[in-house]
């Protein structure tokens, strides 16, 4: 699991870090991206380039996004 906690980072660093990590993602690796906002533009980049994601907001308003490029991986199962 590659953890990117971007809650304290200024825009656009979180997006760039996550896309960089996604470009180098291998096999069934998963990125766990934590952000203050739902990174909607990121989702287009992921889906257009063979990625899959699960995006959820917790009760404190923080967004947790799990990203993979393995179509067989069940992101629901690893979501915490």
Partner 1 sequence: MFEGLSLDQAPPLSVVMRFFLTVPVFGLFLSLLMIFAPHDVLTLSHPLSLASIHLLFLGIISMGMLGALFQMQSVLGGKPIPQPQGSSLIIHTLFTLGTLSLVCAFAFGISELFIVAGVFLGSAIVYFAQILLPLLFGSITHDTLKGMRLAVIALLLTATLGIVMATSYASGVFGEYHALIRTTHYSLGLIGWIAMLIVHVAFQVVEMFYVTTPYSAWCKHNVGRILVGVLALKVLWLFLNLPFPWVTDMIVISLLLGFVVTTMKRLQMRKRRVSDVSIWFWRGGIALLGIALMSYTGYVLSDYASLETVSLIAFALFALSIILGMMGKIVPFLVWFHLSSSGFMDTPIMSNIIPQKRSKILFWLFSTTVIFALLAPFYTNILILCGLTSTAMFALLLFNLIAAKRLYHHTLRHGTKFSFEN
Interface with partner 1 by CB under 8 A: which residues? Answer: 8-13, 16, 19, 23, 25-27, 36-37, 40-41, 43-45, 47-50, 53-55, 69
Which residue intervals of the chain are DSSP H helices?
13-23, 40-48, 75-78
Cβ proximity to partner 1, 3 vs 38, nearer residue: 38
Cβ proximity to partner 1, 27 vs 77, nearer residue: 27
- 70, with CB counted inside 10 A (0-12, 13-18, 19+), is middle
In the complex, least distance from residue 72 CB atom to partner 1, rounded to whole angstroms: 14
Cβ proximity to partner 1, 1 vs 26, nearer residue: 26
In the complex, least distance from residue 40 CB atom to partner 1, rounded to whole angstroms: 5
d(CA 78, CA 54) in angstroms, rounded, equals 10
Which residue intervals of 24-70 are DSSP H helices?
40-48
């Amino acid at each position: 699991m590659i953890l990117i906690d971007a809650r304290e980072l200024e825009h656009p660093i979180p997006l760039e870090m996550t896309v960089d990590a996604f470009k180098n993602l291998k096999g069934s690796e998963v990125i766990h991206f934590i952000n203050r906002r739902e990174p909607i533009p990121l989702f287009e980049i992921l889906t257009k380039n063979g990625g899959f994601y699960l995006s959820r907001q917790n009760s404190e308003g923080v967004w947790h996004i799990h990203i993979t490029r393995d179509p067989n991986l069940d992101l629901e199962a690893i979501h915490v």
